[in-house]
Amino acid sequence: MARPRKNQPLDLTQPVELTVGAIERLTCPDDKRQAFLRDAKSPSLRVRVTEGGAKSFVFEAKLNRQTVRRTIGNVKEWSIEQARTEANRLRVLLDGGVDPRELDRQERAEREARQAEAKASALTVGEVWNRYMEERRPFWSELNYKDHLKMIQKGGEPRKNRANVLTVPGPLAPLLNMRLVDLTPAVIDQWAARESKTRPARVRLALRLLKAFIRWAAQEPDLMDKVDIRVASSRKAREAAGKARAKTDHLQRDQLSIWFQHVRQLPNPVISAYLQCLLLTGARRDELARLKWEDVNFQWRGIALNDKVEESRSIPLTPYVAYLLSQLPRRNEWVFSSPTSRSGRLMEPAIAHRQACRAAGLSLTLHGLRRSFKSLTEWLEIPVGVVAQIMGHKPSATAEKHYTIRPLDLLRIHHETIEKWILEQAGIQFDLKAGIGRLRLIRPAGEENTTKGG
């Protein structure tokens, strides 16, 4: 029998014994996008050719009266015998009721699962912590978000408003490059013992935040088997950090005079006013430091504070506080502004306050001024709920949460009583009947003139 010419077309309706020459002669008919050449030795094996000339070995058979077709590989990469062997293997699977395509899908799914597993196992604490912050940020206050950032800060950056002083690494910074799967109770025990030697209070906060982080990760489908829920509940870690001591620093009634005297003598009138307002409003240090002029209403005598309990709360603008604010320079949007601060507002009032307290022989923190406001109101018959609402404390009873809604005018009656009493105990006489625009400070006889604004 004469050997067929290379350009002689093949009869695609009949199976042929596949050879290299037959595959070379295979072309796609002009009226079709693809064509198949069947193998006479392995009935399930085909060679597919596309209109572009690409050729590949293909397995084709019937399963439950449906055509099953699966690409084996390129004719340049597979030999004819290799393709026949693979086609026969797939034929055996099909005869056993196994669809090779489904088997491929399962293998692909298993492969992807293994890859995802490997990727998840390689995730570091830092990577997952950043994902956690991004997902949970809409549900956090800005202060809470900043706490999470500070926990992982690398340190070594210049501190704001502190020349030649660098930030220190956050308590959780040593754990950031560790794989999440390697975060075990033993690791946390060692970390807590080491970090608690220098900053136990920060470690206690870090443990609380870490516990919430681990609980979140334990509910994430791709992380739940990568975390040990016991990590942040280690007894040894808690013992290493110790228990928080309740802070009790506050001003006694007979200390008000000496405190006001030294605070009003501070050379910076903005800090002086800020510290006095902090005591007279019972506000948190940061919510008062972030006060903007648009938040102060001199006409209706109100102040809007952004707190950590609600989005904001309104408190009365009492006469003496109104006087202090009216004396401040309006450099920018901030009430307590600073021409040297990068942010434009007061950033480090604690330094000046410590100096004033040291001169007065007192030991008092900025938060101690907030405690002082609460404790000093005990001398007056002020409803507890009123004090809590002014200070921005969470309601402690059902009646307070759902039924007691005090308007600003009602709060003002009590708040002005508190302010008047504190000023009297401090020996400061103030004309409460003067309008806000005409307020005048009446200093006690014999007291030297102090800095404007306090």
pLDDT digits (tens, 9 = 90+) for 309-330: 556 889 999 999 999 999 999 9
pLDDT computed for residue 234 by the predictor: 80
Q: Extract the tokens encoding 120.
A: 């998840």
We find that the CATH architecture of domain 253-442 is Orthogonal Bundle (1.10)
Residues 43, 61: Cα–Cα separation, whole Å:
9
Task: Residue 55: name the closest of 81, 31, 13, 22 by CA.
Answer: 22
Tell me, what's the pLDDT at 270?
96
pLDDT value at position 248?
Answer: 79
Q: What is the DSSP letter of 301?
A: T
Residue 107: CB atoms within 10 Å: 10
Q: What angle do CA 164, 169, 170 make, to 5 degrees?
A: 130
Q: Taking the domain 20-116, which CATH number applies? A: 3.30.160.390
* 450 phi and psi angles, rounded to 5 deg: -110, 175
pLDDT at 438: 47
Q: Which residue from 296, 286, 278 is spatially nearest to 333, judged by alpha carbons?
A: 296
Burial readout 42-74 (b: 16 or more C-beta within 10 A, e: otherwise): bebbbbbbeeeeebbbbbbbebeeeebebebee
pLDDT value, residue 163: 59
Tokens coding 202: 């920060």
- Which residues of the chain are under the pLDDT cut of 70? 1-8, 117, 120, 159-164, 246, 308-311, 395-404, 432-454
Q: 74 pairs with which residues across the strands?
A: 56
SS3 content of the chain, % helix, strand, coil (to 5): 50, 10, 40
- Domain boundaries in the chain? 20-116, 125-241, 253-442
Q: Which amino acid is at 349?
A: P
